[in-house]
Structure 1
Amino acid sequence: MTVLATGLDTTSPEYAANRATMLDRLGELGTEHGKALAGGGEKYVERHRGRGKLLARERIELLVDADTPFLELSPLAAWGSEYAVGASLVTGIGVVEGVECLITANDPTVRGGASNPWTLKKALRANEIAFANRLPCISLVESGGADLPSQKEIFIPGGALFRDLTRLSAAGIPTVAVVFGNSTAGGAYVPGMSDHTVMIKERSKVFLGGPPLVKMATGEESDDESLGGADMHARTSGLADHFAVDEHDALRQARRIVARLNWRKAHPDPGPAEPPKYDEDELLGIVPGDLKIPFDPREVIARLVDGSDFDAFKPLYGTSLVTGWARLHGYPVGILANAQGVLFSEESQKAAQFIQLANQRDIPLLFLHNTTGYMVGKEYEQGGIIKHGAMMINAVSNSRVPHLSVLMGASYGAGHYGMCGRAYDPRFLFAWPGSKSAVMGPQQLAGVLSIVARASAAAKGRPYDDEADAGLRAMVEQQIESESLPMFLSGRLYDDGVIDPRDTRTVLGICLSAIHTAPVEGARGGFGIFRM
């Protein structure tokens, strides 16, 4: 075995400072996660409970197998917007009757579970995950439909939700809908387009138009039950495949549906895996609070992979990018981890070759980000940094093995692209609380704007206002700093969640297991033209 050695001094002042900073950020993260857990607030939670109903996460807890983890995705969706944190929808991966499933649950304590633009983005991302990884999809439905004041941002793109359900079914990926309350208007198509639908006596209400709309449109008098109640749909319309007497019974029936799917993973479970040799708690003190200070990503890898066993690839070449092979929860992975931040030509070429090898061997890739981007300057431009960076991005773009990305520290500029950022369709992307991502660092970006403005003034023969320049730089730095923080980016669904570093191995293990539900096959060519 090639066990990684550790040089981490957990008694040093630097380690203590890093750990304290990370714990502070985790405290801030916990506060924001608490907002999502609170749903619509105490008043609406109590009103919901007063109706004898379970909360969204309680429904999920009863649905999934006992003592198994539920990986919640995008819990900070809509953070920093006018809408509630969490976007009135819970999504994630859980195990039901031994089957990994993609689960979505409307939160009816937030405006009746109505969908806003961020709800839509979050739901579409969940469908994307289900499709790419061939995960059966279970929808726990209770929603009043679109949040009407924002309908202009929901109606047209929102049709993709129903398109996705039919495409999942056509691809042989099971879809199950459990209706706990209202599922009206367009929302009626969720149970209508799912393979299996469970409705609850005197609770489920599924209709294209409720009694008021029917009255306005046709003059017909009707009531909820005869128009769209569970009993009617079970006995008359045939929309309900299963009739439940209460919420617990509905969840029991959903579990039985999954148990009868005859569902098989494309790859068998690898079985128990040896844990890392080093304590995962030590991950809190590795990344400095100041991301300009470099750190050794091998210290992170040593606390993630099975047995801390890592076979380095080209360890003496392109040393600011660590590449190599390992196993994580028994699954093989190829790892690319930024060491000193900057990517040079050597690192770019090394990465491209490594990615090709992973595709030849059908091995998923894990990208651990801490990069300020590709190196600039006359020497490096003349040395071909553009074509070599393009080679790396070409390889990432056309790689067919699943990619996982974790933003540990900085993830700036085209380096974010080369390390498989969101635009490059990683199967999953997570961020640590101290990470940052933007076109460049705040000081660099503000400085560039200042230089351009100063040159413009000189070209026009005008005096330059240094006091105004200082104010502008400060304003720009503050803006870019706030927009590069993980909670801001997670709120816009540019990642699948901000996670505690100590949970990274578990989160990646769940993702790797989900990934291997579908076939893992790499590209055998088709990388386009590599400029040499």
Structure 2
Amino acid sequence: MIRSRLDPASEEHQRRRASMLAKLAELDAEHARAVGGGGERYVERHRARGKLLARDRVELLIDADSPFLELSPLAAWGSDFPVGASMVSGIGVIEGVECVITANDPTVRGGASNPWTLKKSLRAADIALRNRLPYVNLVESGGADLPTQKEIFIPGGQIFRDLTRLSAAGVPTVALVFGNSTAGGAYVPGMSDYVVMVRERAKVFLGGPPLVKMATGEESDDESLGGAEMHAKVSGLADHLAEDEYDALRIGRSIVRSLNWRKRGAVPLPAREPIYPADELLGIVPEDLKVPFDPREVIARVADGSEFEEFKPAYGVSLVTGWARIHGYPVGVLANAQGVLFSEESQKATQFIQLANQSRTPLVFLQNTTGYMVGKDYEQGGIIKHGAMMINAVSNSTVPHLTIVMGASYGAGNYGMCGRAYDPRFLFSWPSAKSAVMGPAQLAGVLSIVSRASALAKGQVYDEEADAAMRAMVEAQIETESLAFFLSGRLYDDGVIDPRDTRTVLGMCLSAINSAPVPEPAGFGVFRP
């Protein structure tokens, strides 16, 4: 059992806690923007039509009092589009079955899909396929946001490809259509295994009456062209005709119940709560990420019984590795202690990842890294080949990976600790997280040195005033672009979470990944000695 050395009453802890709470208040405000959809005017207009909001539909679909793990709630943050990208997505339990659920938000531009909606939808489908989770679409969308069609049309075809691949893999796809599903959007129900349409509400057609008139001269109306009753009685596209939205959600639950779905992964042992309170996680990460912290304090508040069997504790001490259980599931943990990864840490990580693959144990990466160490002695000592070994191991490991970015995630350390490019099953960030090719001051300094050397080579006098302005501008830009909200807005994670929710989020993810069978053993590439 980990013996915590944390003093929650200390001034340092209280200062860090206050800083984290301030960041969480900002996070709550951004989540409120996403929940607000298109704004009060459009929300009231939607309700006046007798329709449920997207989140209301999700809440009525999932089992009562069951959790819903929302994914990418900050999608499109910092862009020209509303936070949330006009879609709700996440993992929820329907009739006891964990499912990926997406719901268009028609209060935002009629539920039209913008480039960030597309990214969010593709991520949801990827999660459903890799983790063998039934995929339920709650559909009401006007199709593509036409002014941005150049960014949507060609890559958007993957949405329909993914639906067919899910079905081919034996993962059920269900479409509940509450309103418009037009143009390319018509293929969502068209390519789903099960389709439910709401009478007098659902409208599914490749081209609406105006387009048909322009293309063929034919006069038609919405109902005869693509209404729910027509599709139920004539075209056969609708498998079920629902009387209203509540009936559609009831039928959706019935479909999932009839799947007789069984999880194929590991069965957890009984879970035990950590002996230290989760609230203390708020005061662990320093405001200045250059200041190290002990990740064992995080593990002690996440692992079952606060128990952790550390691997090679005296070797490569800036990386903590070892075995634990989270909500009864066995995991291997890799956590950055001092930030920098040296050759010893890289070799230790490589061996540990191979051991986890031998025992088919999922890996949890707790990131707080400034990257691999640089300098003449370290280059001569083989830091490149040792870092490459670690990245090789991460790349070719086949056990599920879960990543939490707690603090810094800079340079190739992001890669070695299983950043987004290395396909973790799930990746979440704390509000304190920052990620970039390097720290703002370091990046600005490198540009300054290069510019100064260029001026010297040309025999020019270096403009110190312009250099200072350039450094300040670059530092501000990189600082902004490395923040958790900015990165989450681009879907470089699956969401920014409250540190106190880390154990719950990891537990839900571990349960979700075990809907799929345990993957086949890994085959690694060549490790350079």
Q: Do they superpose with TM above 0.5?
A: yes
Q: Is the 8 A contact 1:197 1:242 kept in 2?
A: yes
CA deviation map 1:66-116 (0-9, x unaligned): 111000000000000001111001100000000000000000000000001
CA distance in 1, matches of 2:240, 2:118: 27
Q: Matched residues in 1 for 2:207 and 2:315: separation?
A: 65
Q: Give the corresponding residue for 2:384.
A: 386
Which one of 268, 271, 274 corresponds to residue 270 of structure 1?
A: 268
Counterpart residue number, 1:531: 528
Instruction: Provide the residue aligned with 1:89 in structure 2.
Output: 87
2:166 alignment partner AA: L
Match of 1:319 in 2: 317
Matched with 1:153 is 151
The residue aligned with 1:203 is 201
Look up the equivalent residue of 1:529 and give its one-letter code: V
Task: Report the alpha carbon displacement of residue 269 of structure 1 after superposing the two structures with TM.
Answer: 4.1
CA distance in 1, matches of 2:275, 2:52: 42
Q: TM-score, normalised by structure 1?
A: 0.99
Distance in 2 between residues matched to 1:5 and 1:255, nearest whole Å: 46
Aligned to 1:429: 427
Question: What is the letter of the counterpart of residue 250 of structure 2?
Answer: R
Q: Tell me the amino acid that sits aligned with residue 526 of structure 2.
A: I
The one-letter amino acid of 1:224's match is D
Map 1:211-226 → 2, pairs under 5 A: 211-226=209-224
- Change in Cα spacing, 1:121 to 1:21, as seen in structure 2 (3 Å) is same
Aligned-CA RMSD value: 0.8
How far apart are residue 457 of structure 1 and its match?
A: 1.1
Within the candidate set 126, 129, 133, 2:127 is matched to: 129
Question: For 1:440 and 1:520, how far apart are their aligned partners in 2?
Answer: 36
Post-superposition Cα deviations, 1:247-290, rounded to whole Å, max 9, x if no partner, equal 00100000000000011100254254001010000000000111
Shift of 1:464: 0.9
Partner of 1:53 in structure 2?
51
Count of aligned pairs:
529
* Secondary structure of 1:370 counterpart: strand
Amino acid in the other structure paired with 2:495: G
**What secondary structure, in the 3-state scheme, does the structure 1 residue paired with 2:471 have?**
helix
Which residue is 2:375 aligned to?
Answer: 377
Q: SS of the residue aligned with 2:175? A: strand
**What letter corresponds to residue 131 of structure 1 in structure 2?**
L
Q: Which moved more, 1:247-256 or 1:226-235?
A: 226-235
**How many angstroms apart in 2 are the aligned matches of 1:269 and 1:385?**
39
- 2:366 and 2:405 in contact (8 A); partners too: yes
- Aligned AA for 1:469? D
Tell me if the contact between 1:358 and 1:522 (Cα under 8 Å) persists in the aligned partners.
Answer: no
Query: Structure 1: how far apart are the matches of 2:454 and 2:216?
Result: 67
Which of 329, 332, 348 is residue 331 of structure 1 equivalent to? 329
Alignment partners' CA distance in 2, 1:308 and 1:371? 23
Letter of the 1:531 counterpart: R
For residues 15-71 of structure 1, give each alpha carbon's deviation from its aligned partner in whole angstroms, at most 9, with x where no partner exists. 010000000000111111111111000000000000000000000000000111000
SS at match of 1:324: strand
Q: SS of the counterpart of 2:137?
A: strand
Q: Measure the CA separation in 2 of the matches of 1:29 and 1:68.
A: 23
**Aligned counterpart in structure 2 of residue 142 of structure 1, from 140, 144, 149:** 140
Equivalence map 1:272-351=2 (5 Å): 272-351=270-349
- Residue 448 (structure 2) aligns with: 450
- Counterpart contact for 1:369–1:408, Cα < 8 Å: yes
Work out whether 1:516 is the aligned partner of 2:483: no
Inter-partner Cα distance in structure 2 for 1:304 and 1:199: 43
Are 1:100 and 1:136, in contact at CA under 8 Å, matched by a contact in 2? yes
Q: Aligned-pair distance for 1:337?
A: 0.1
Shift in Å, 1:420: 0.3
Query: What does 1:399-414 correspond to in 2, within 5 Å?
Result: 399-414=397-412
| Contact 1:182/1:206, CA 8 A, preserved across alignment | yes
2:266 touches 2:518 (CA, 8 Å); kept in 1?
no
Residue 523 of structure 1: how far off its partner (Å): 3.0
Deviation at 1:521, TM superposition (A): 2.5
Question: What is the DSSP-based 3-state SS (H/G/I as helix, E as strand, rest coil) of the residue aligned with 2:409?
Answer: strand
| Structure 1 position 465, deviation (Å) | 1.1
Unpaired runs of 5+ residues, structure 2, are none
Secondary structure of 1:197's partner? strand
Q: Identity rate of aligned residues, in percent?
A: 77
- Aligned partners of 1:328, 1:271: CA distance in 2, in Å? 10
Distance in 2 (CA, whole Å) between partners of 1:340 and 1:505 is 23
> Could you say if the C-alpha distance between residues 299 and 522 of structure 1 is closer, same or farther in structure 2, counting changes exceeding 3 Å?
farther
Q: Is the 8 A contact 2:73 2:495 kept in 1?
A: yes
1:323–1:351 contact (8 Å) kept in structure 2 = yes
Correspondence list, 1:487-506, <5 A:
487-506=485-504
Superimposed CA distance per residue, residues 309-349 of structure 1 (whole angstroms, 9 cap, x where no aligned partner): 11000000000000000110111100000000000000000
The AA in structure 1 aligned to 2:368 is N
What's the TM-score once normalised by structure 2's chain length?
0.99
Check conservation: 1:74, 1:86, Cα contact below 8 A.
yes
Change (3 A) 1:271 1:325: closer
Deviations 1:132-165 (A, max 9, x none): 0000000000000000111111111101000000
The answer on whether the counterparts of 1:408 and 1:434 sit within 8 Å (CA) in structure 2 is yes
